[in-house]
Structure 1
Amino acid sequence: MMFHSFLFFEGCGSGLSGETLTEQGHQWLGLDISESMLDVALEREVEGDLMLGDMGQGLGLRSGILDGAISISAVQWLCNADKSCHEPRIRLKAFFSSLYRCLGRGARAVLQIYPENLAQRELILGFAMRAGFSGGIVVDYPHSSKRRKEYLVLTCGPPSLSTTTPEGKGEDGESCSDEDSSEDEENHTVCISDRRRPRKKQKVNKKGKGRDWVLRKKEQMRKKGNAVPADSKYTARKRKDRF
């Protein structure tokens, strides 16, 4: 049975993995930041379309054009500040928000990642959820340092549109159930499904500085030898608005 879905492949490199997509009957678009790797893909005459670009700057694709997205060991690099102008949070936000926009509703994105630690994993997952995705992280062979692999499995849209997040493989090759899964670093197992978007932080209105605060600051300035106006009944009093 042949499929003709249009898949997006991030960090496609020389197109080796893209050939597997072609063999399965998929049409695919590959993106990579390395021009030399894309040149190799062109020499190999891969059947996918190729794009040179930095996914940390967002994806310049039409809304809803993609039926799915995959990535192999690429997304975690957005957490590194390789240049002075790179801000990991801004780059992660640009990538996930543009990926969400390009995918059709209900489409899947499966991104293999190698986070350095739990904080980096949560950073990546957090920005994916903020972009509107539902899903979570699946870990294969969680207790093996050599065979362990983490996948960020996302669905474009709210949890009601998504299917169950796949289960990771255990040491015996069988799927790990929810009972065997936990989020602590000791077991190195994470099977999270349908995490909802976190609430936006509400802005806190800071109140004006009171008289006591102003008097303390003036006293500190005097001790430093600065010229400070004398205290009076008008100190820190709010002035009336002028029209």
Structure 2
Amino acid sequence: MSRPELTGAAANFYNDTEARKYDTNSRMIGIQAEITKRALELLQLDTSFPNFILDVGCGSGLSGKVLEEAGHYWVGLDVSRDMLNVASERESSIKGDLAHHDMGTGLPFRSASFDGMISISALQWLCYSNSSKQVPKRRLVRFFSALYGVLKRGARAVLQFYPETPEQAVLISECAAKVGFAGGVVVDYPNSTKAKKHYLVLSFDRGYSTPKGLQSSAQSGVRVDSSTSSKRVKVVKKKGKGKTKEWIEHKKDVQRKKGFENVRKDTKFTGRKRKDKF
């Protein structure tokens, strides 16, 4: 299956059909909720009061619903009008405000407006160009520069994304650092092809230490036993079935009938396995 980013602009890919399919897929809803909860955890908000959160690439409002359940206020923006239409259809169940906007052109908000920012599965779209005017690096720098301005000092941003290559992750990190952000990429379940997730965690604090990613031996499908984990495991290849005594005696009879000389006599040791010398 090809990556959606390779098919063209996000606004075209997430048309009305795709938007509704996305919003009603139970598996997708579960994944989005799980990722959003992890993003909130990495955001390390003061939960003693409601926070005002910016959700970039909010889609149909699945991540916004999680923000509301956590007791926060939010504003979401997305480049797909069809996604926003799906979100607005159930406006009674979501309380966030919605805006139609391309994140690669900046952010249409006042300075120091938000206590935090999240973005779920949207950032990687800026790494692709759909016209001669769209230069990925410029769009990334413009976005991060705008994000730096709309966040309150002391706030953090967590952006979950799917890099196609390691070079994309490096490019994204470098563009964020260029505008003044500190932080880095947190990788959850790095040894799992399905559960692996990348989170860009950004802070204003120059001494900020990026959190460690989640690890789980269950994700790799390999059980590690403490009694053998520090020992070298010898792998023994299975061999075919050994030659039986009857087969050997038959072979000798055939050789004798053909006139072979020096055919060994049959004894009680014929067909027995010799002991290992070492």
Of 85, 90, 95 in structure 1, the residue corresponding to residue 138 of structure 2 is 90
Query: In 2, distance between residues paired with 1:84 and 1:127?
Result: 20
Query: In 2, distance between residues paired with 1:2 and 1:105?
Result: 18
Query: In 1, distance between residues paired with 2:49 and 2:163?
Result: 32
Query: In 2, distance between residues paired with 1:158 and 1:69?
Result: 16
Does 2:192 correspond to 1:159? no
Match of 1:171 in 2: 216
Cα distance change, pair 4–167 in 1 and its aligned pair in 2 (3 A): same
Match of 1:29 in 2: 75
How is 1:205-216 mapped onto 2 (pairs within 5 angstroms)? none
- The count of residues paired between Structure 1 and Structure 2 equals 171
Of 19, 27, 39 in structure 1, the residue corresponding to residue 85 of structure 2 is 39
- The letter for the 1-side match of 2:153 is R
Corresponding residue SS for 1:40 = helix
Deviations 1:101-139 (A, max 9, x none): 100111010000111111111100000001111000100
Note if contact 1:22-1:47 (Cα within 8 Å) is conserved in structure 2.
Answer: yes
Query: In 1, distance between residues paired with 2:115 and 2:130?
Result: 31
Match of 1:144 in 2: 192
How is 1:64-83 mapped onto 2 (pairs within 5 angstroms)? 64-83=112-131
Cα distance change, pair 173–150 in 1 and its aligned pair in 2 (3 A): farther
Match of 1:209 in 2: none
Which 4+ runs in 1 deviate beyond 6 A?
none
Query: In 2, distance between residues paired with 1:3 and 1:11?
Result: 25
Q: Which has the higher helix share?
A: 2
Query: In 2, distance between residues paired with 1:138 and 1:44?
Result: 33
Match of 1:135 in 2: 183
- The letter for the 2-side match of 1:60 is P
Query: In 2, distance between residues paired with 1:129 and 1:12?
Result: 24
Does 2:169 correspond to 1:121? yes
TM-score by length of 1: 0.68
- The letter for the 1-side match of 2:113 is I
Query: In 2, distance between residues paired with 1:143 and 1:172?
Result: 9
- The alignment's C-alpha RMSD in Å is 1.5
TM-score by length of 2: 0.59
Structure 2's unaligned 5+ residue stretches are 1-46, 220-278
- The letter for the 2-side match of 1:35 is R
Cα distance change, pair 52–173 in 1 and its aligned pair in 2 (3 A): farther
Match of 1:102 in 2: 150
Structure 1's unaligned 5+ residue stretches are 175-243
Corresponding residue SS for 1:159 = coil
Query: In 2, distance between residues paired with 1:173 and 1:149?
Result: 16
Match of 2:54 in 1: 8
Query: In 2, distance between residues paired with 1:16 and 1:83?
Result: 30
- The letter for the 1-side match of 2:206 is P
Q: Tell me the CA shift for residue 91 of structure 1.
A: 0.3
Q: Tell me the CA shift for residue 170 of structure 1.
A: 1.2
Note if contact 1:132-1:158 (Cα within 8 Å) is conserved in structure 2.
Answer: no
Corresponding residue SS for 1:84 = coil
The percentage of aligned residue pairs carrying the same residue is: 53
